[in-house]
Amino acid sequence: MAKNSNQWKKGRGKLGFLSPLIGSWKAEASSPLGPVSCTRSFEETLGGKYIQLNAEWNFSKGVYKEHALIGLNLKGEVAFWSFTSDGKNSTGILTDVTDVHPEAVGFEAQMPAGIARMIYWPDEEDGFYWAVESKNKKGWSRFAMHNYKPVK
């Protein structure tokens, strides 16, 4: 579980950097579609070879879901494969996002609209921040950010 920035302890192995995220988390935020409640759960699966992410976004007008796996691709790189309830899917690879926070971890993907990245980093208490950014000529432009707390 994430603590503060000095206690976000990584585990062993190639996926050990995701250890602080293992568990269930919830965030409340504003969005262009109105208020949203989002839960994210991370768990080891398939003998610890992958981390499974299940996310559920609850809007006043409906629910959006994501199922993703994080593991090693055929090149031996840490990658993700994401599938969403709107029928879309994406893949990406681990990337350096320490420009956001020294302990941040993130993934970059080529999306139909361009390059995007998803970032996780510890908050000041017992949770983490999550953000999605798109790349433009001036750098990275953040279009979503949530603060997740553990589900108790």
Asked if residue 117 is part of any domain, the answer here is yes
Token couple for 95: 């990337």
Asked if residue 10 is part of any domain, the answer here is no
CA atoms of 16 and 116, how far apart (whole Å)? 23
**pLDDT digits over 53-100, tens only?**
999 999 998 999 999 999 999 999 999 999 999 999 999 999 999 999
CA atoms of 78 and 35, how far apart (whole Å)? 33
Asked if residue 116 is part of any domain, the answer here is yes
Q: What is the pTM of this model?
A: 0.90
Instruction: Count how many Cα atoms sit within 13 Å of the Cα of residue 147 in the half-sphere of its side chain.
Output: 4
Range of the domain at 122: 16-150
Asked if residue 1 is part of any domain, the answer here is no
Total domain count, the chain: 1
What is the CATH classification number for the domain harbouring 120?
Answer: 2.40.128.20
Asked if residue 7 is part of any domain, the answer here is no
CA atoms of 101 and 81, how far apart (whole Å)? 24
CA atoms of 151 and 12, how far apart (whole Å)? 24
Asked if residue 59 is part of any domain, the answer here is yes
